[in-house]
């Protein structure tokens, strides 16, 4: 009886003393500094799940300081998001990884993604020419969406068919959650639908659109100011041979690639930050790629004037590590601009097959189907 009583007394004493000392997990949970050190080392998928642990964890993970600490480089491209349809509201996206590509994957479609979307308030007016997002998580947790809207105004009372197209900017702010008009309506000189409003690029604090015919435009988002950007001069008589192979931004640089006819050697141009003009940044020679992958030298289906390759992305890195991501029939290729070396990243299924299984379109993606993937836990 005495022994049993002593045993019970000992058990109660031990249990009581253990409750006085918190577990290691409790210590971590109560120490924000230590918890943040651990959370910054976790993959993004885990962090998305851990947001639901508690309101305090949600606050820590979504805090701007934590977002920047985990992803200090908002220009670090780790993959490409691709879609072959420009008309679908929710297109299927394919993912091509650009990190650890030493082991080529069998098919880019094996990386298809499931994604969530955020619905924006509906615009009051129709006639949208293009939507572009302005977002830099290193500057602000908020983003803006710029919509170029068109309206037609009759310019002659005599002839109802004489009308003029006016453009106007509408801006959506994630901070206010609403749309508003910006500035006055404007026209474009010698307007023939050459301004590529569907392909806006956010660079230098502005949305930049290029024109296939004359000068291009940019819209400074913070100042809400429209400006003109010069385009490269076109050799006389070669307007209709001009083809744009790339237009995009990488690490604070705006690039443009245009070619005339079937070529494997071309220049990569970069725009001055003051919009004074383009200069040659790189000279590219794809002769070696064409020898290794002869299908690239075939004339493109439906376009007998050009070879079968497109530039999906140009990724700027330090020193001589910058590279192009090329798409040739059935393949995606990493091409090093510095030394001209190249390797296959993955295989890509063709766009269409006919009833006999014959390839109908040799190239599945073009530059305007490709978007750089930059991992971030910033909320959109």
pLDDT of residue 350: 64
Half-sphere exposure of 374 (CA within 13 A, CB side): 19
**pTM summary value:** 0.83
Q: How far is CA 106 from the centre of its chain?
A: 23
Burial label for 77, CB within 10 Å (0-12, 13-18, 19+), is: buried
- The backbone torsions φ and ψ at residue 46, rounded to the nearest 5 degrees and listed phi first, read -65, -40
Locate the domains of the chain by residue range: 26-70, 79-373
E strands along 63-176, which residues? 79-82, 94-97, 128-134, 144-154, 163-173
CB atoms within 10 A of CB 310: 21
CA distance 211 to 253: 19
- pLDDT tens sequence across 301-345: 566 667 889 999 999 998 789 999 999 988 999 999 999 999 999
Encoding tokens for residue 208? 């930049």
- pLDDT tens sequence across 138-177: 888 899 999 999 887 766 655 556 678 889 999 999 999 9
Burial label for 210, CB within 10 Å (0-12, 13-18, 19+), is: buried
């Amino acid at each position: 009886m005495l022994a049993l009583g002593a045993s019970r007394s000992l058990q109660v004493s031990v249990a009581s003393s253990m409750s006085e000392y918190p577990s290691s997990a409790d210590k971590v949970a109560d120490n924000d500094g230590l918890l943040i050190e651990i959370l910054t080392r976790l993959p993004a998928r885990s962090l998305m799940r851990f947001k639901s642990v508690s309101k305090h964890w949600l606050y820590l993970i979504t805090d701007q300081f934590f977002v920047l600490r985990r992803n200090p480089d908002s220009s670090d491209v780790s993959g490409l998001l691709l879609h072959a349809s420009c008309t679908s509201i929710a297109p299927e996206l394919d993912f091509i990884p650009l990190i650890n590509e030493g082991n080529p994957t069998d098919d880019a479609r094996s990386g298809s993604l499931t994604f969530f979307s955020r619905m924006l308030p509906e615009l009051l007016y129709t006639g949208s020419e293009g939507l572009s997002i302005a977002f830099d998580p290193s500057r602000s947790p908020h983003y803006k969406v710029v919509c170029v809207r068109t309206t037609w105004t009759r310019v002659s009372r005599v002839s109802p068919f004489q009308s003029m197209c006016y453009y106007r900017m509408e801006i959506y702010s994630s901070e206010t959650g609403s749309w508003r008009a910006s500035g006055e309506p404007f026209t474009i000189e010698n307007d023939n639908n050459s301004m590529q409003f569907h392909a806006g690029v956010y660079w230098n604090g502005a949305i930049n659109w290029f024109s296939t015919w004359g000068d291009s435009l940019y819209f400074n988002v913070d100042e809400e100011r429209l400006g003109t950007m010069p385009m490269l001069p076109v050799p006389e008589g070669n307007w209709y041979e001009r083809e744009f192979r790339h237009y995009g931004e990488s690490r604070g640089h705006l690039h443009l690639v245009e070619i005339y006819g079937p070529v494997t050697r071309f220049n990569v141009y970069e725009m001055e930050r003051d919009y004074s003009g383009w200069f040659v940044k790189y000279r590219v020679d794809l002769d070696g790629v064409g020898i290794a992958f002869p299908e690239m030298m075939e004339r493109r289906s439906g376009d007998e004037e050009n070879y079968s390759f497109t530039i999906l992305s140009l990724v700027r890195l330090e020193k001589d590590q910058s590279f192009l991501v090329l798409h040739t029939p059935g393949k995606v290729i990493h091409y090093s601009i510095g030394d001209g070396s190249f390797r296959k990243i993955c295989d890509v299924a063709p766009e269409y097959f006919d009833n006999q299984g014959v390839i109908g379109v040799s190239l599945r993606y073009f530059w305007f189907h490709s978007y750089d993937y930059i991992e971030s836990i910033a909320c959109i």
